[in-house]
Amino acid sequence: MTKFRDIEIRAPRGSKLNAKSWLTEAPLRMLMNNLDPEVAENPKELVVYGGIGRAARNWECYDRIVETLKELNDDETLLVQSGKPVGVFKTHADAPRVLIANSNLVPHWATWEHFNELDAKGLAMYGQMTAGSWIYIGSQGIVQGTYETFVEAGRQHYGGDLTGRWVLTAGLGGMGGAQPLAATLAGACSLNIECQQSRIDFRLKTRYVDEQASDLDDALARIKRYTEEGKAVSIALHGNAAEILPELVRRGVRPDMVTDQTSAHDPLNGYLPAGWTWAQYRERAVSEPAAVARAARQSMAVHVQAMLDFQKQGIPTFDYGNNIRQMAKEEGVANAFDFPGFVPAYIRPLFCRGIGPFRWAALSGDAQDIYRTDAKVKELIPDDAHLHRWLDMARERISFQGLPARICWVGLGLRAKLGLAFNEMVRSGELSAPIVIGRDHLDSGSVSSPNRETEAMQDGSDAVSDWPLLNALLNTAGGATWVSLHHGGGVGMGFSQHSGMVIVCDGTDAAAARIARVLTNDPGTGVMRHADAGYQEAIDCAREQGLNLPMLGR
Amino acid sequence: MTKFRDIEIRAPRGSKLNAKSWLTEAPLRMLMNNLDPEVAENPKELVVYGGIGRAARNWECYDRIVETLKELNDDETLLVQSGKPVGVFKTHADAPRVLIANSNLVPHWATWEHFNELDAKGLAMYGQMTAGSWIYIGSQGIVQGTYETFVEAGRQHYGGDLTGRWVLTAGLGGMGGAQPLAATLAGACSLNIECQQSRIDFRLKTRYVDEQASDLDDALARIKRYTEEGKAVSIALHGNAAEILPELVRRGVRPDMVTDQTSAHDPLNGYLPAGWTWAQYRERAVSEPAAVARAARQSMAVHVQAMLDFQKQGIPTFDYGNNIRQMAKEEGVANAFDFPGFVPAYIRPLFCRGIGPFRWAALSGDAQDIYRTDAKVKELIPDDAHLHRWLDMARERISFQGLPARICWVGLGLRAKLGLAFNEMVRSGELSAPIVIGRDHLDSGSVSSPNRETEAMQDGSDAVSDWPLLNALLNTAGGATWVSLHHGGGVGMGFSQHSGMVIVCDGTDAAAARIARVLTNDPGTGVMRHADAGYQEAIDCAREQGLNLPMLGR
Ligand SMILES: NC(=O)c1ccc[n+]([C@@H]2O[C@H](COP(=O)([O-])OP(=O)(O)OC[C@H]3O[C@@H](n4cnc5c(N)ncnc54)[C@H](O)[C@@H]3O)[C@@H](O)[C@H]2O)c1
Ligand SMILES: NC(=O)c1ccc[n+]([C@@H]2O[C@H](COP(=O)([O-])OP(=O)(O)OC[C@H]3O[C@@H](n4cnc5c(N)ncnc54)[C@H](O)[C@@H]3O)[C@@H](O)[C@H]2O)c1
């Protein structure tokens, strides 16, 4: 059971197959791409992002997945159980080639404690969301989500103009690292606290953050200068959010927006307790895990208290989906949930139309393939200025990591349209190799996560997880190329169940039929779930798009 | 939202279709059959068995499911969410026609308290196992399981001969009612305590129990007489197990085997507290649910204490999968798990070969169709005397309930063989209409239930629920006719996740291809799961049957 290997993995490029077809080549390249040093946070330990979100359980499992995918026939399906390839079974051409289940635990045992026990025995793997389901594409994925959130917050609170405003946040990891760039794209300054210098360096290098301040005073001086000048500059600050936020409250500093993206969902691995160094934290996580998790939770309580203090001053404050409110609540901060999650605050109206982080990657490795799809999106969706602006900014400001990829938030109707168009471009040779299309698990129809995606549902069905299970079954029935079911992504063990899917556009008619089904059904389940909960936007969308929802009528 | 309707439902018989094909006619008939008064415990409230295990959420949902199945095309799939038909989506001919998810809750909220809250709002349904997945066939289903368990216990503890021995148990409900007959078939007397006279009457009428005693003294006198005579007679006794078991301990009475099948998994609906009448219990469950559940749990603690006392005297004592040990433990009986569950004690070796409660029903309604399949099973499995004996006794002693059906415990290899043979019999006209094949969720590869099916796994993976999810995904990929994913079956909210599948033999080539895949893959996942846990029998079986398990080699 090898957890560390001194190796650099990069997905094969070009149009030559290493597996028997593009349907198996695609998961092979995307697994490898998840571990590309440009993409993954800690690829030598198989960690893609989000604390300990892995692509395979250990290196022996990785090797066997790769070998198995190379041999897999187009009427066979590989089963992957928490990152381990456990079986190959006979299915058929229109069935998924890979079925994945990661980190799922029977509810009564669905805690970090039990997970860690299993993990120590080599029986578990944390799949996060797109880490264990092989469709992480680096920080770009999250940039648009964060950008859309900041833009929507700006619209709600500042009349749509964030010039001269600044965002206070923490965490510059795999996802959180998107915050400074997203704030800049949205027109705001930002102060980004991060406790690991290496993370700041990485974000400076990739141009996601503009500058690093030497200390808090310097940071505040820079914020003052740039907001006065009306420039949207992002500042990184090395330090601990659990120390700096309370200090800002004490000093009476007033940001224009407050959020957080430390890995609070995982107290043992993702959140540095106040007063500790990162090295101490990693070491003691092994020697005394219970005490470490407790210390982290205590610091989170302090951190959340400061966020509540900002909110009390009327500053828009929201949880960015890392479950920090829950942790603080368990530590005694009774009103931790006074500030909302970003989904009910800003995202749910989009979910009602099946809109969310849709993405695709060019298996060729050729950036031109993505630029051609960018142009195709503009051609097919000619009058969405916001979308066009995003595509232009993304091309200009976002470096590809690993295989070139693009993300853009579209919903029911447009997804199938784009997928079919990309498939045609592969068929005609306009693209140099097939495209894979997937999405995040932060999604309209494929996740139940009562502290995040399904927080405060209108009918109270936040915790009902039939929906993501149906989504996974339906995507399997429709013929997605791989389908996954995860537990605990984003918000940690016990707090979410969710499903992923990826589908290959190989330019064939068979692929077109599958794409039309899957890229309709997948966002369709999101519209269905929200319509069932009573959201009028979703009911309207279902009618417009001709969904057949038996209890609602057409 | 109508929970009660004064109606009697019976599945259509014969070979005339009400839906557009046998693939949709089959779920239609099996849903209706689950509510046949001969089959269901309380069909007017949609309750099939197991406390509140329902076939549909309410009568409006039932009506819409029926209408939708009648209209459904053979490239469409109906989604059912906790008994409510929520969507119809385009899939393809080899995809399931119905996908079901029942009672699934995000783990942190996966409690009876939260479930009951949702239920009160009309947002939930408890699917139990085969209730909400439309393949319950009445008590026959459980008779063989119980029979196999008693026989195996007899083999382990009494040299294979139960003559003159007696079993003490309680609960004569949908499943528990099989106990007296199973004990008789296994050669033992039995004393069966049941607190509802109506349940005893039902079992007397269907010949599952032989006699009712007037009181405890009478019961013990009868047991004494029959055991001395070496006759395997079953005795019912009206009373409360939480009172009678301690009394037997006090009197120094020594049964030869002790178990229990009250619905302890559901304290609010399935277990009568000591000293209460059933009417009081039902009434107060509505007016003061928390107090009622507490009272039930307290009585369970007393009940389990008596079972522990029997065990201390060296009497084979086992939990029969109703989670009563967990409830008692939560009430302070620290050593409640001192007596084992029936699975690790008697069933696991069978699971290692994918063996478990395989079943089929004749959609024609014609008993002859089942007798012909009985004969076919004997023909194809000529040298299994135990199996032949079971088939003969079942035919002689077990009245069909609803559509004629048969159950028999076979595993990987034989399941596909039988399925293909039945499909041939439909094709040739030897059977008068199609057959459906399914199984219980008490199964080798499709359930994680750490207090029952996956108790005490060799590698400690009891609570890992990736396995049932993969099973459901694979059965969907393979083309089962309907596939379901449930939570909480058998042992209650929080304690299990499991999956069901049913496949139609309509005599076509397409069905044969699906049957070969699904009836191989489904038990195959069970062998895989046990091989992965390190059971040598499973590893051997995988090799013999040519399963492809990448980490184990062929
Ligand atoms: N859309 C969403 O809901 C959404 C999106 C992105 C991320 N998230 C959540 O945000 C969190 C971050 O995700 P990630 O992928 O970036 O994780 P990550 O583990 O890669 O990064 C977390 C970063 O926080 C830093 N950090 C930890 N404790 C800190 C402290 N006390 N002060 C300052 N910095 C600290 C770490 O050094 C690390 O760089 C996760 O909980 C994730 O689930 C949610
Ligand atoms: N193979 C298995 O693991 C397996 C098989 C069958 C049943 N079970 C479990 O056994 C239990 C019973 O299943 P069922 O379908 O028969 O349920 P049921 O609700 O139909 O029947 C339970 C019966 O127990 C009786 N009862 C309740 N409290 C009692 C008490 N204190 N004393 C005497 N009788 C009492 C009720 O009157 C009822 O008739 C369930 O928990 C089920 O999950 C497990």
The amino acid that residue B334 corresponds to is: A
| Residue range B349-365, pLDDT digits in tens | 999 999 999 999 999 99
**With a 6 A CB cut-off, is A41 part of the ligand 1 pocket?**
yes
- Beta carbons within 10 angstroms of residue B10's beta carbon: 17
Instruction: Please report the pLDDT score of residue B362 as a whole number.
Output: 98
* Structural domains present in chain A: 22-120 (no CATH), 140-343 (3.40.50.10730), 347-544 (3.40.1770.10)
**With a 6 A CB cut-off, is B126 part of the ligand 2 pocket?**
no
Q: Where are the alpha helices (DSSP H) in A230-362?
A: 241-251, 278-287, 289-312, 324-330, 342, 348-351
**With a 6 A CB cut-off, is B262 part of the ligand 2 pocket?**
yes
Point out which residues pair with A168 in neighbouring strands: A191, A258
Tell me whether residue A408 is one of the annotated catalytic residues.
Answer: yes
Burial of residue B336 (CB within 10 Å: 0-12, 13-18, 19+) is buried
Q: Is A174 annotated among the ligand-binding residues?
A: yes
Residue B10 in tokens: 């019976």
Instruction: Please report the pLDDT score of residue A490 as a whole number.
Output: 86
Model confidence at B174, in pLDDT bands (50, 70, 90)?
confident
Contact B123 A460 (CB under 8 A): yes
Contact A450 B549 (CB under 8 A): no
> Rounded to whole angstroms, how far apart are CA atoms A519 and B156?
55
Instruction: Please report the pLDDT score of residue A360 as a whole number.
Output: 98
- For chain A, what is the radius of gyration of the CA atoms? 22
With b meaning 16 or more CB within 10 Å and e meaning fewer, what string describes B103-123?
bbbbbbbbbbebbbebbeeeb
**With a 6 A CB cut-off, is A51 part of the ligand 1 pocket?**
yes
Residue B308 in tokens: 């522990």
Model confidence at B345, in pLDDT bands (50, 70, 90)?
very high
Atom 43 of ligand 2, residue of closest alpha carbon: B490
* Cβ atoms of B93 and B74 closer than 8 Å: yes
pLDDT above 90 covers a percentage of chain B that reads 94
> Rounded to whole angstroms, how far apart are CA atoms A465 and A60?
33
Contact A477 B78 (CB under 8 A): no
> Rounded to whole angstroms, how far apart are CA atoms A58 and A3?
5
Instruction: Please report the pLDDT score of residue B58 as a whole number.
Output: 98
Q: Is the pLDDT of residue B554 over 60?
A: no
User: Helices A385-397 and A178-186 meet at what angle, rounded to 10?
Assistant: 130
Place of tokens 């009160």: B120
Q: How far is CA A418 from CA A7, A386, A471, A505, B269, in A?
A: 36, 17, 20, 11, 51
| Residue range A475-528, pLDDT digits in tens | 999 999 999 999 999 889 999 999 999 999 999 999 999 999 999 999 999 999
Instruction: Please report the pLDDT score of residue A397 as a whole number.
Output: 87
| CA-based nearest residue to A130, from A498, A519, A394 | A498
Ligand 1 geometric centre to CA of B429 (Å): 64
Q: Is B178 annotated among the ligand-binding residues?
A: no
Q: For residue B326, which ligand has an atom nearest its CA?
A: 2
Contact A474 B521 (CB under 8 A): no
Model confidence at B139, in pLDDT bands (50, 70, 90)?
confident
Q: Is the pLDDT of residue B553 over 90?
A: no
Extract long-range pairs of A114-120: CB within 8 Å, 24+ residues apart: A114/A493, A114/B463, A115/A488, A115/A493, A116/A268, A116/A289, A117/B460, A118/B460, A118/B461, A118/B463, A118/B464
The amino acid that residue B486 corresponds to is: H
Contact A105 B464 (CB under 8 A): yes
Q: How far is B471 from chain A (nearest CA, A)?
A: 9
Q: Is A128 annotated among the ligand-binding residues?
A: yes
Residues in chain B: 554
> Rounded to whole angstroms, how far apart are CA atoms A262 and A243?
13
End-to-end Cα, chain B, rounded Å:
53
> Rounded to whole angstroms, how far apart are CA atoms A32 and A47?
12
Q: Is B160 annotated among the ligand-binding residues?
A: no
**With a 6 A CB cut-off, is A172 part of the ligand 1 pocket?**
yes
Q: Is A175 annotated among the ligand-binding residues?
A: yes
The side-by-side arrangement of strands in the sheet containing B166-170 is B211-213, B234-238, B189-194, B166-170, B257-258
> Rounded to whole angstroms, how far apart are CA atoms B447 and B430?
35
| Residue range A515-543, pLDDT digits in tens | 999 999 999 999 999 999 999 999 999 99
- Beta carbons within 10 angstroms of residue B6's beta carbon: 5
- For B522, half-sphere exposure in the C-beta direction (CA atoms, 13 angstrom radius) is 37
Atom 9 of ligand 2, residue of closest alpha carbon: B322
- For B437, half-sphere exposure in the C-beta direction (CA atoms, 13 angstrom radius) is 31
Ligand 1 geometric centre to CA of A265 (Å): 8
Contact A78 B550 (CB under 8 A): yes
Extract long-range pairs of B334-341: CB within 8 Å, 24+ residues apart: B335/B308, B336/B304, B336/B308, B338/B308, B338/B311, B339/B307, B339/B308, B339/B311, B340/B455, B340/B456, B341/B451, B341/B452, B341/B455, B341/B456
Ligand 2 geometric centre to CA of B346 (Å): 20
Select from B191, B262, B272 the residue to mutate for testing ligand 2; criterion: most ligand atoms less than 8 Å from CB.
Answer: B262
Model confidence at B75, in pLDDT bands (50, 70, 90)?
very high
> Rounded to whole angstroms, how far apart are CA atoms A502 and A308?
39
Q: Is the pLDDT of residue B538 over 80?
A: yes
Point out which residues pair with B236 in neighbouring strands: B192, B212
Residue B553 in tokens: 């080699």
Q: Known catalytic residues of B?
A: 408
Atom 7 of ligand 1, residue of closest alpha carbon: A175
Q: Is the pLDDT of residue B399 over 70?
A: yes
Instruction: Please report the pLDDT score of residue B469 as a whole number.
Output: 98
Model confidence at B385, in pLDDT bands (50, 70, 90)?
confident
**Nearest residue on chain A to B83, alpha-carbon basis:** A466
Instruction: Please report the pLDDT score of residue A386 as a whole number.
Output: 84
| Residue range B140-163, pLDDT digits in tens | 888 989 998 999 899 899 998 999
- Beta carbons within 10 angstroms of residue A369's beta carbon: 26
In three-state form (DSSP H/G/I as H, E/B as E, the rest C), the secondary structure along B527-538 is: HHHHHHCCCHHH
* Cβ atoms of A461 and A388 closer than 8 Å: no
**Nearest residue on chain A to B496, alpha-carbon basis:** A106
Residue B17 in tokens: 């279709």
Ligand 1 geometric centre to CA of A50 (Å): 6
Model confidence at B51, in pLDDT bands (50, 70, 90)?
confident
Ligand 2 geometric centre to CA of B238 (Å): 15
> Rounded to whole angstroms, how far apart are CA atoms B520 and A160?
59
Select from B112, B181, B263, B440 the residue to mutate for testing ligand 2; criterion: most ligand atoms less than 8 Å from CB.
Answer: B263
> Rounded to whole angstroms, how far apart are CA atoms A333 and A310?
15
Higher-confidence residue: B553 or B116?
B116
- Beta carbons within 10 angstroms of residue B468's beta carbon: 31
pLDDT above 90 covers a percentage of chain A that reads 94
Q: For residue B42, which ligand has an atom nearest its CA?
A: 2
Judging by DSSP bridges, how do beta strands A234-238 and A482-487 pair with one another? unpaired
Point out which residues pair with A407 in neighbouring strands: A359
Q: Which of A412, A453, A464 to mutate to test the interface with B (most CBs of B within 10 A)?
A: A464
Instruction: Please report the pLDDT score of residue B305 as a whole number.
Output: 98
Point out which residues pair with A483 in neighbouring strands: A99, A501
Q: Is the pLDDT of residue A554 over 60?
A: no
> Rounded to whole angstroms, how far apart are CA atoms B278 and B270?
10
| Residue range A431-475, pLDDT digits in tens | 999 999 999 999 999 999 999 999 999 999 999 999 999 999 999
Model confidence at A336, in pLDDT bands (50, 70, 90)?
very high
* Cβ atoms of A262 and A299 closer than 8 Å: no
Q: How distant is the alpha carbon of residue A218 from its chain centre?
A: 32
pLDDT above 70 covers a percentage of chain A that reads 100
Ligand 1 atom index nearest CA of A490? 43
Contacts of B71 (CB under 8 A, 6+ apart): B20
Q: Is B174 annotated among the ligand-binding residues?
A: yes
Q: For residue B246, which ligand has an atom nearest its CA?
A: 2
- For A434, half-sphere exposure in the C-beta direction (CA atoms, 13 angstrom radius) is 23
ipTM entry: 0.90
Instruction: Please report the pLDDT score of residue B550 as a whole number.
Output: 98
Which candidate from B87, B94, B463 shows the least CB-CB separation from A94? B94
| Residue range B313-339, pLDDT digits in tens | 999 999 998 999 999 999 999 999 999
* Cβ atoms of A380 and A156 closer than 8 Å: no
Q: Is A489 annotated among the ligand-binding residues?
A: no
Which candidate from B85, B91, B493 shows the least CB-CB separation from A517? B91
**With a 6 A CB cut-off, is A306 part of the ligand 1 pocket?**
no
* Cβ atoms of B196 and B204 closer than 8 Å: no
Higher-confidence residue: A155 or B280?
B280
Q: How far is B101 from chain A (nearest CA, A)?
A: 5
Which candidate from B108, B459, B524 shows the least CB-CB separation from A494? B108
Residues B180-191 have a mean pLDDT of 96
Point out which residues pair with A98 in neighbouring strands: A78, A482
Contact A94 B96 (CB under 8 A): no
Contact B469 A106 (CB under 8 A): no
Q: Is the pLDDT of residue A56 over 70?
A: yes
Contact A464 B68 (CB under 8 A): no
Select from B103, B147, B322 the residue to mutate for testing ligand 2; criterion: most ligand atoms less than 8 Å from CB.
Answer: B322
Q: For residue A300, which ligand has an atom nearest its CA?
A: 1
**With a 6 A CB cut-off, is A174 part of the ligand 1 pocket?**
yes
**With a 6 A CB cut-off, is A170 part of the ligand 1 pocket?**
yes
**With a 6 A CB cut-off, is A168 part of the ligand 1 pocket?**
no
In three-state form (DSSP H/G/I as H, E/B as E, the rest C), the secondary structure along B188-248 is: CEEEEEECCHHHHHHHHHCCCCCEEECCHHHHHHHHHHHHHHCCCCEEEEECCHHHHHHHH
Q: Is the pLDDT of residue A165 over 60?
A: yes
* Cβ atoms of B78 and B87 closer than 8 Å: yes
Burial of residue B547 (CB within 10 Å: 0-12, 13-18, 19+) is buried
Q: Is the pLDDT of residue A149 over 80?
A: yes
* Cβ atoms of B517 and B478 closer than 8 Å: yes
Contact B460 A118 (CB under 8 A): yes
